[in-house]
Amino acid sequence: MHKTMIYPVVLALGLSACAKQQPASAPAPEEPTAAEADAFIAGVNDDYRRLLPYLNAAQWAQATYITDDTQMLAARANEQWLEYLSRKVQEAKRFNAVEASPDTERALLALKLSTANPAPSDPDRRAELAKLLSKMEANYGAGKWCRPDGACLSLPEIEKIINDPAQPPAARAEAWAGWHATARPIRADYQRFVTLANEGARELGFANLGEMWRAGYDMSPAEFEAEVERLWTQVKPLYEALHCHVRAKLNARYGDAVVPKDGLIPAHLLGNMWAQQWSNIYPLVEPYPGVGSLDVTSALKQQRAAEYQRLLAEFKGKPSARDLAELEHRADAAIAVKMTKMAEDFYTSLGFPKLPDTFWERSLLLKPRDREVVCHASAWDMNMQGDVRIKQCIEPDEDQLTTIHHELGHIYYYLMYNPLPPLFQAGAHDGFHEAIGDTVTLSLTPAHLHKIGLVPAQKTDPKAVINAQMKWALDKIVFLPWGKLVDQWRWKVFAGEIPPERYNASWWALRAQYQGVSPPLARSEEDFDPGAKYHIPGNTPYTRYFLAFILQFQFQKALCDAAGFAGPLHECDIYGNREAGRRFMDMLAQGASRPWPETLEKLTGTREMDGAALIEYFSPLMDYLAEQNKGLSCGWQADAAS
């Protein structure tokens, strides 16, 4: 995830208190000119460069130091930034009929769509919206599940239970329910947020906030919705085949009473709090046990343990309990930095620059021992001029290593387009931004993981290929329906098709329809299970991730072609190829300055998003699944009404 568009802060905007009243006989104002439109956009770009560093600093403080004070400062900051943005959008309407240059027209639209949280023009409602946004995000960051034994666990600690397939189903269900209960307090807040954000969207000329979100793709909202459906239809058979196979494996392990042979899979058994990716249950579904070791997590944990032993050996005297705790913390910090440098090395091997010194000085790579933070990983462009950071509570496991590669994709996108005017400092569309780092992760092949010392050398073995593909599929294919349904729910909420009294029921209806999963426990409208996922209280549009999981394979195929790779797509590793890197950087440098089909064509040679490369990548696994699923009752019945 990357953090863009809204960056709250405390600042003085210097609004004029009043304006001169014109006499009744004053002549009508002259029509604005193209030159005035150019000057207006230049002024907004100047404002962005001047204000955003302060805006970002306030939100960074709130995310990395959760207190009542930082929440208050962030809320006030957000209010003032939303006021500024709303004012500039209103001023921009003067130029609606002006025949401006293509760049200025594009910048005017970008300004209009530059926030996921359009604020009402009424000052009281704008202030209320800002407070709600800060409150909901802080609730997520500080959420804890307090068990009957008195222990209170944060999300990363709860995830260790959910993610572990060795834990009994009852323990995982209890942990799942504990985390989801943390979202209940914001149910009413979210309902009010929807009202206020829709009001802001209507003031900008959109029917609701969902329509506004769908307007940022160089096509009409209706055309974009159809495009998302086309892509889902293209890749849906892959998910259905994988769901069928995994359900059969889980049924064999847990029995009909826990996992039905032909129904929905209980969400808490899939190795992820939201059942959005299932790679943690790979040991339960590994096609050929023991063929081609891919235990990256164990390798990282061993490196962390070795660092601790090194620190302990260097310690002079007998360490106290406090000393030992400090050494543990230093070992954690060392492996977090080492994993981040592994990811940096991949990018620099392609010709990208080294990360600036300030990245290492100012990023948060480890959960602090002395305060609450929002551990959800994110990448930050603090000043649009090179102060880039990530915020991630890194632990030594494979998922975290993959996430670092993903976050650095955002960081390098920032650095590549920083020379552009601020209004064009964004992805070609938001799916591009999410796809960059994920494209790089596709080169983390077994051969590459061996190259960097994380797995043993792999022999050429078709069974090892299937194992490797299964592991990736539990991440890449499994995500697709989740990536689509989160905004399907919100679009319906914003449009009023899902009323507040059906928030939770409709959420689970969509999850049944798209994912084929069910909650582990009975749910009611007292619950607010959507709010247990960061992007709902954080109000981050989510379809970008669905698009990214399509685009990353399309990008990878183009980069592999540029690198001259002639083998199967799933074996391609672009590490060290400067031609692929040059093509990659050229695309990133375009930012949002051109319509995304042009930017896509620059790298891939086509102007259309396409799932064909994803299907090609997983063709060995799909052949395997077709054989495994013979005789099984695939698919599921779900009430799709929402």
Q: What amino acid is encoded at 162 in this protein?
A: I
Neighbours of 122 (CB within 10 A): 15
Contacts of 369 (CB under 8 A, 6+ apart): 329
Contacts of 17 (CB under 8 A, 6+ apart): none
| Beta strands per DSSP E along 193-331 | 265-266
DSSP string, 134-164: HHHHHHHHH--EE-TTS-EE-HHHHHHHHT-
Contacts of 592 (CB under 8 A, 6+ apart): 106, 110, 417, 423, 424, 425, 426, 427, 428, 429
- Active-site entry in 240, 407, 433, 570: 407
Task: Decide: 474 and 279 in contact? Cβ < 8 Å.
Answer: yes
Q: How far apart are CA 482 and CA 519, in angstroms?
A: 14
Sheet with 378-381, edge to edge strand ranges: 2-3, 378-381, 388-391
544 is in an annotated binding site: yes
Task: Decide: 198 and 208 in contact? Cβ < 8 Å.
Answer: yes
Task: Decide: 201 and 118 in contact? Cβ < 8 Å.
Answer: yes
Task: Decide: 551 and 431 in contact? Cβ < 8 Å.
Answer: yes
3-state secondary structure of 491: helix
403 backbone dihedrals φ, ψ, rounded to 5°:
-60, -40
Lookup: tokens for 74: 């962030």
410 is in an annotated binding site: yes
Q: How far apart are CA 214 and CA 223, in angstroms?
A: 9
434 is in an annotated binding site: yes
Q: How far apart are CA 375 and CA 631, in angstroms?
A: 44
> Phi-psi region for residue 232, left (φ > 0), alpha (ψ -120 to 50) or beta?
alpha
416 backbone dihedrals φ, ψ, rounded to 5°:
-70, -40
Neighbours of 368 (CB within 10 A): 12
Of 512, 475, 633, the C-alpha closest to 265 is 512
Chain-centroid distance, C-alpha 124: 31
Q: How far apart are CA 502 and CA 184, in angstroms?
A: 14
Task: Decide: 250 and 269 in contact? Cβ < 8 Å.
Answer: yes
Task: Decide: 569 and 625 in contact? Cβ < 8 Å.
Answer: no
Instruction: Please indicate whether residue 407 is annotated as part of the active site.
Output: yes
Instruction: Please indicate whether residue 245 is annotated as part of the active site.
Output: no
Lookup: tokens for 294: 């891919």
Q: How far apart are CA 589 and CA 584, in angstroms?
A: 9
Q: How far apart are CA 65 and CA 72, in angstroms?
A: 12
Lookup: tokens for 239: 């998910």
Q: How far apart are CA 594 and CA 598, in angstroms?
A: 7
Contacts of 557 (CB under 8 A, 6+ apart): 569, 604, 613, 616
Q: What amino acid is encoded at 119 in this protein?
A: A
- Active-site entry in 268, 429, 535, 570: 535
406 is in an annotated binding site: yes
Catalogue the active-site residues: 407, 535
Tell me the binding residues: 217, 406, 410, 434, 544
Binding site residue list for chloride:
217, 544
Binding residue positions for Zn(2+): 406, 410, 434
